[in-house]
Amino acid sequence: MLSNQSPSNNLTAEELLERFSSAKPRQKRGLIASVESKANELAALGQSLFSPFDKDGDDWGIGWILQVLNRHVPDELKKLCSDNDGCWFNAPSGNGIDFLPLQKNLLEERYEEADRFTSAVLRELAGAAAQTRGYVYFSEVEAISGIDLLTIDRLWIAYSQGRFGFSVQARLLKALSGRYDRLWPRIGWKKEGIWTRYPSAFDWSIQAPEGHMPLINQLRGVRLMDALLNHPSLSSRV
């Protein structure tokens, strides 16, 4: 486990949980290592571990705690998750899609598998033609279920310390004055003018550039990503 000599490391598990759950994002990041150093103590809190958090939200605090428990005390996590279907966020769908595989992949930090699942779901949401051809047209995005896009975005944010997700990409694009030519290198999809080779050259880890995932096929052009990031269910979150 990570060592941490900061004052937060002297907190009890209950005190650390209270501070971590109520902290602003920047303060929360300063507590990441302390949370990892107390995996056993946090697991011992049982179901009270979840009480400060909203199952319908996207607070990456509980997502990180769950990932920490999965890293260090997976057997204890299984006990906690036995009473929480999907462990832990609610993941509604307007199309009957089971998002448990996505949540499980993200929980276990298997980001490449999570990205592949996300791409498959987007094709399914876009319709039979998209599934047959293997990719989504920008003109098909408008009809995609906002409930499902919101669920995908929430789960990516919650299990990435707030680093990945459609709305994260949209926020970065906005900060770059809407310039996709500046976004591609910012999120690691283009390096020195060359498109990043999929999948081998992508960084499928939490250390990847902010906004690196989920992947939207940039070779389909700007219009697909622009349609997706401007979908009403996502644009309201930027």
Alpha-helical segments (H) within the chain: 13-22, 25-29, 32-37, 39-43, 60-72, 74-81, 100-107, 111-126, 128-133, 146-158, 166-175, 180-186, 222-229, 232-235
User: Which CATH number belongs to the domain containing residue 124 in this structure?
Assistant: 1.10.10.1770
- Regarding whether 168 and 112 lie in a shared domain, the answer is yes
Provide the residue range defining the domain that includes 143: 100-235
Cross-strand pairs, 144: none
Name the maximum alpha-carbon separation found in the chain: 57
- Regarding whether 69 and 23 lie in a shared domain, the answer is yes
**pLDDT for position 218:** 65
2 pLDDT higher than 70 = no
When divided into structural domains, the chain yields a total of 2
Token digits for 222? 């700007």
**pLDDT for position 5:** 44
List the single range of 34-43, 81-90, 152-161, 210-219 with lowest mean pLDDT: 81-90
**pLDDT for position 4:** 43
- Residue range 15-47, pLDDT digits in tens: 999 999 999 999 999 999 999 999 999 999 999
Within a domain: residue 199? yes
pTM: 0.94
C-alpha of 187 from chain center: 15
Cα atoms in the Cβ-side hemisphere of radius 13 Å centred on 132: 3
